[in-house]
Amino acid sequence: MMALATPDPALYLPPGTVLQPKIFLRNASNQNLVVGGSLRWRAATTSGTADLGTRELAPGSLATIDVFAMQRNGIVPMDASWATPVISYAGRYGDLVAIVASYDAAGKIGLQTPFNDLAASRWAGSRWFADTLRNSIITVGNASDGSTTANLTLHYNGGKTRYEVEQSLKPGEQIWLDVGELIQSQRPDKNGTVIPPDVEYGTYTIRDVDHLLGQTLYEGKLTIDKKFGHASYGCGFCCDPWAGQYLSPSQVDTSVGNSWQFTIIGFGQCGNENVDLTANGFNWGSGNTGVATVSSTGLGHAVGPGSTSMWSYINTPGTSHKCPYHVIQTIANPVYVRPAISGPNTVWWFNGQNPAGYATSITLTSSGGASSSWAITAGASDVTLSSTSGSSTTVSSSGAAFSSAPGDVKITATANGVTSSPFSVTTRKPASLISPSVSTRCDSQFGYETDMSYVVADQLGTGLPTSIDWNEKWTTNANPIYSGTNWPQNPVAPATALYVSSAGGPILIDGITGPGLNNQPANIPQPTCNAHTSVEIVNWGQAFSVGSQATGTGVQVRLDTLHKWIDHGVHTQP
């Protein structure tokens, strides 16, 4: 902020004061420097840019740019009050020392202006004033080579209230804010907010709306003290959100074929908030593309089992001497790609039988390929593995123990030093007949027929999932109860229990009848229908097995006594 010949009234200099601004340049290096620059000036209603030319400075030499002469010669208007000089040179940081002085002819009244070599996308400013004795002028300029949008926010009322000025700036353009004039005029901000006339101080922040990182904005603040006739420059603190950058997720633990999106998070020191910097990441990489790959936008993909690391670089353009003093940082996170196990999750046991629709062995496959090694990590007494190495293994029921809960058998595959998530298997066997139902009807050939119906269930109490063959076996000879009876012991009658969805399993139906009504010699006694008498004729022991129709094969699911009464049948258990 360089004061020009016609002082801004905000400086409260004596009437008629004419300043004679000059720029002083000293080559502090031991080699010649070629120095160029421009002057961005502003008057009450107009603004523009003037070329400061190019000059070569010998080591230790001093050059003066007479801006007052430029104003007298019409290069810069005489009514311009302020300017921002921009000086450039090819050399090391600190090779050139520059300062601006704007004093009257007597050298008694004026301002001396420091140069600012910092630019950033975020700034936190110091205190501004707008009381009866002090006033602050704040400027924000575009230091980049492209257009951008700058937001200058005044904070007041203990930081609870804000006033926002937002403006699109071409390269070199500025926001120029006279805080005292702003409050006195009650000019609303972009949100319609006005600062109350009794507000006397606050702080300010600056941010580049279009760029999260980069040396895009410079700032300046001048506070005029009317009581002592003193003007002081304040400086802000640049705070690009580069501090504490990290990748999210911090660790990837996944299976082959899965994808995920990395996010680069930076801490915004000005707003004490996390900022998404993913768009500023570049050179994304993977330590082993056979394990995982990552795209140029941070999209990761699991290729094969193993472990690796993934990284991104985060860039803050500019020289290392500009805020935030870090050009490139590397962020890396571990990635664990676990082999995936695929295959059925239920294995059945039918005591040597292999009924259709029931897998008595299952094959599991590891995405880790031939290098996989297999292990049973839970339920080792329930199953056996055909092999503990290779791309696949066959799981069979041990027949000695079975699942006590669904999925309680756990099997893993390890490949390239990384172990899969446990694959859950349930071992099942038919175990019982549940939900009994009894139905008796009259029969013209046998006197009566009683149907004893059951749902075939496994050891977990769940109905079997599809139809299943069954058989019965007599465990005792006929035991006559009725004196002199000649009712025979029937031959066994295996069948298929058909699946009934409404019952939740296959239905086993055991039909019990009286002897044939036309038997010779005649039945003693003759069976009846609906006699409603308590006359038992004969009984014998029986066992039901599931998995085959061959007598006595498969898994025994019920042991009971079959009773034939004169008018109905029934099963009983001890």
Q: Is residue 561 located within the same domain as residue 476?
A: yes
Task: Say whether both 504 and 388 belong to one domain.
Answer: no
DSSP string, 478-505: -EE-STT--PPPPPP--EEEEEEGGGTE
pLDDT-derived band of residue 195, with 50, 70 and 90 as boundaries?
Answer: very high
Lowest mean pLDDT among 137-141, 274-278, 441-445, 449-453: 274-278
- Looking up residue 196, the CATH number of its domain turns out to be 2.60.290
Residue 278 has φ and ψ, to the nearest 5°, of -55, -40
Q: Are residues 454 and 499 in the same domain?
A: yes
Choose the final residue of a domain: 113, 143, 159: 113
Find out whether 475 and 552 touch, Cβ atoms under 8 Å: no
Using H for helix, E for strand and C for coil, what is the string for 511-574? EEECCCCCCCCCCCCCCCCCCCCCCEEEEEEEEEEECCCCCCCCEEEEEEEEEEECCCEEEECC
| Whether 567 and 452 share a structural domain | yes
**Co-location of 104 and 130 in the same domain:** no
Whether 317 shows a pLDDT value over 60: the answer reads no
23 has pLDDT over 50: yes
Nearest to 202 by CA among 237, 167, 161: 161
Q: Quick one: pLDDT band at residue 326, thresholds 50, 70, 90?
A: very low
Phi, psi angle pair for 345, to nearest 5°: -120, 10
Which of the listed residues 383, 405, 428 is the one where a domain comes to its end? 428
Residue 315, helix vs strand vs coil: strand
- State yes or no: pLDDT of 509 exceeds 90: yes
Give me the number of domains the chain comprises: 5
d(CA 158, CA 156) in angstroms, rounded, equals 5
Terminal-residue alpha carbon distance, the chain: 105
Q: Both 563 and 435 in a single domain?
A: yes
Assess whether pLDDT exceeds 50 at residue 332: yes
User: Mean pLDDT over residues 404-417, rounded?
Assistant: 97
State the pLDDT at residue 318. Answer: 43
- 221 neighbors 236 (Cβ within 8 angstroms): yes
Same domain as 402, residue 288 = no
Among residues 113, 142, 171, the one where a domain terminates is: 113
Q: Do residues 434 and 454 touch, judged by C-beta distance below 8 A?
A: yes
pLDDT at 415: 95
Task: Please tell me the predicted confidence (pLDDT) of residue 243.
Answer: 59
Average pLDDT over residues 504-513: 97
CA distance 38 to 23: 11
- Please report, rounded to a whole number, the percentage of residues in the chain having pLDDT higher than 70: 96
Tell me the range of 12-26, 173-187, 378-392 where mean pLDDT is highest: 378-392
363: helix, strand or coil? strand
pLDDT tens profile 463-493: 999 999 999 999 999 999 999 999 999 999 9
Q: What contacts 511, CB < 8 A, 6 or more positions away?
A: 449, 450, 451, 452, 493
Closest C-alpha to 52, from 37, 63, 62? 37
Regarding whether 527 and 444 lie in a shared domain, the answer is yes
- CATH number assigned to the domain comprising residue 313: 2.60.40.1080
Average pLDDT over residues 98-124: 86
Q: Is the peptide bond before 494 cis (omega within 30 degrees of 0)?
A: no
Torsion angle in degrees (nearest 10) through CA of 454, 457, 460, 462: -90
Identify whether residues 525 and 436 lie together within a single domain: yes
Among the listed ranges 165-174, 190-199, 242-251, 403-412, which one has the minimum average pLDDT value? 242-251
For the residues 418-439, what does the mean pLDDT come to? 97
Q: Which domain holds residue 565?
A: 431-572
Single pTM value for the model:
0.63
What's the rounded mean pLDDT across residues 180-207? 94
If one counts every other C-beta atom within 10 angstroms of the C-beta of residue 227, the result is 9
Model confidence at 531, pLDDT cuts 50, 70, 90, reads confident
Do 75 and 88 lie in one domain? The reply is yes
The reply to whether 450 and 523 lie within a common domain is yes
| Residue 418 · residue 339 · CB < 8 Å | yes
